[in-house]
Structure 1
Amino acid sequence: MNVAEMIPAAEQAAHLMRSLSHPQRLLALCALGMEEKTVAELRCDLGGVEQVPMSQQLMRLRADGLVESRRVGTSVYYRITRPEVLLVIEALREAYCPPEGVKPVARPQ
């Protein structure tokens, strides 16, 4: 790997990783994937997370430019806006969520 190629994008990559560093934000992005979902759907997908913490994490993701929202009546829909987010989420899914029947690779703590 040529590290010099990463220099111009290192700050952007670090910003993305900071945005992903909270478990609830990471799970919200995993739940969104390629879909658009309401806050209620996301809360349900994440095991009934309370409204206020979910809204706070979604606001952070929106402020960081990872998701965008649109309102339809009383519902707010969210979707991922940046394709690199999907690539990172998929890589994390492959590394940490192996298919059923496959044992995860042991990782040092």
Structure 2
Amino acid sequence: MTDSPTAPLPPEAMRHAAQQAVAALKVLANEDRLLLLCHLSQGECCVSDMESHLGILQPTLSQQLAVLRREKAVTTRREGKNIYYQVADARLLALLQTMYAQYCPAP
């Protein structure tokens, strides 16, 4: 057995952590949601900019943003007629940054 810097979690805490990780992975397990979140991992963005930059059509964009809001993966703020989105969870942002580094190499 190797020494670890922290004590192991009790089984009920580990189960809760696993449930949270599965929920995050389910959010990421859709190509359009993953594209939206990857784009938002670069910073806050409004809906019209996401639509034009990512090429996701409005009905699909609205549907996937609703899922992200429901799952509390994003937060929103309104400025006039524009709604701005950003990634809500630092853990999800860290996952996105890791995935970006692994799957989106610099040209």
Q: CA RMSD in A?
A: 1.8
State whether residues 19 and 25 of structure 1, in contact with CA within 8 Å, keep that contact through their aligned partners in structure 2: yes
Alignment partners' CA distance in 2, 1:44 and 1:85: 24
**1:26-105 matches, cutoff 5 A:** 26-46=34-54, 48-100=55-107
Deviation at 1:86, TM superposition (A): 1.0
TM-score w.r.t. the length of structure 1 is 0.81
Name the aligned partner's letter for residue 36 of structure 2: A
4+ residue segments displaced more than 4 Å: none
**What amino acid is the match of 2:34?**
L
- Within 2, Cα distance between the matches of 1:54 and 1:12? 25
Larger CA Rg, structure 1 vs 2: 2
Amino acid at match of 1:73: G
Q: d(CA) in 1 for partners of 2:58 and 2:49?
A: 11
Q: Distance in 1 between matches of 2:77 and 2:98?
A: 28
Instruction: Give the Å deviation of 1:72.
Output: 1.7
- Identity percentage of aligned residues: 34
The amino acid across from 2:104 in the alignment is C
Please report the TM-score for the alignment, with normalisation by the length of structure 2: 0.82
Q: Name the counterpart of 1:104.
A: none
What SS does structure 2 have at the residue aligned with 1:58? helix
Unaligned runs of 5+ in 2: none
Q: Is residue 34–residue 80 contact of structure 1 (8 Å, CA) maintained in 2?
A: no
Gaps of 5+ in 1: 101-109
